[in-house]
Amino acid sequence: RKLAEDVILNQNQGESGNEATEALLEFSVQERERLDALKKGGGAANQKNREEAAAWRSKPIQERLTYSLVKGIPTYIEADTEEARQQLPFALNVIEGPLMKGMNVVGDLFGSGKMFLPQVIKSARVMKRAVAYLLPFMQDEKEKALAESNEEASKDSYAGKVLLATVKGDVHDIGKNIVGVVLGCNNYKVIDLGVMCSCHDILDRAVKENVDVIGLSGLITPSLDEMVDVAKEMKHRGLKIPLLIGGATTS
């Protein structure tokens, strides 16, 4: 009850501003795991789970990354991400390959009802940490590619211009941010409006910047209605800009 009250009343959030939220998420995951263990046989199942938890560090890198993402464990994510980076040509390949494979498993479990929203949010935060670790490497690789091409003008010539935004009423942006990173590494200019963006703000900025694509993100169910409203307003304004939608609410 105390954990729930802290989140509802937005208190005891600490210096990070989300300590109470993290505590409630951690409790919900632990409680679910405890109940699952009881259903599977109590003490014997708990011992088996502990043995499995200890053994996963010896598995191949893909399985370790997937385990960290599915379980929401940040402890080893940077070390494992570095190991994967050493095995692949470019840092971006780590995101597009092993990390996305792991997140696909999270998506499948969520879609089948075997994972719930608090667990998915923890998984997304681990993914965010892995991407943050890779960012400096991706920036260095991009600058080296520009230098080797001897095309100074290419710094201002993009493959396209994309506007990204989380729609009004929604504050979730981890997936959107990852999309922005991947697009940026593929030489797209990304205009990120952030979260809680109104329909008119999104479309006004899209017209002002003359973007090639509008990308809308959202996690909660009402966000899908907001996306529909944006599409209707685009039709009303006669805009022909391609519209991409993504996030848990869309699937």
Strands (E), the chain: 160-166, 188-192, 213-217, 243-246
| Cα separation, 179 vs 207, whole angstroms | 21
Task: Supply the pLDDT for residue 53.
Answer: 62
Residues 6+ apart with CB under 8 A from 45: 37, 38
Distance of CA 162 to the CA centre of its chain: 18
Closest C-alpha to 135, from 97, 185, 174? 185
Which sequence positions are flagged as catalytic?
A: 170, 172, 223
Phi/psi for 124 (5° steps) reads: -65, -35
Closest C-alpha to 164, from 173, 152, 153? 173
Closest C-alpha to 183, from 231, 230, 131? 131
Task: Supply the pLDDT for residue 155.
Answer: 47
| Cα separation, 193 vs 245, whole angstroms | 15
Residue type, 180: G
Q: Which residues does the chain have with pLDDT short of 70?
A: 15-18, 41-54, 149-157
Strands (E), 113-206: 160-166, 188-192
Residue type, 35: L
pLDDT, tens only, 152-210: 544 456 889 999 999 999 988 888 988 888 888 788 899 999 999 999 999 999 999 99
Strand-pair partners of 91: none
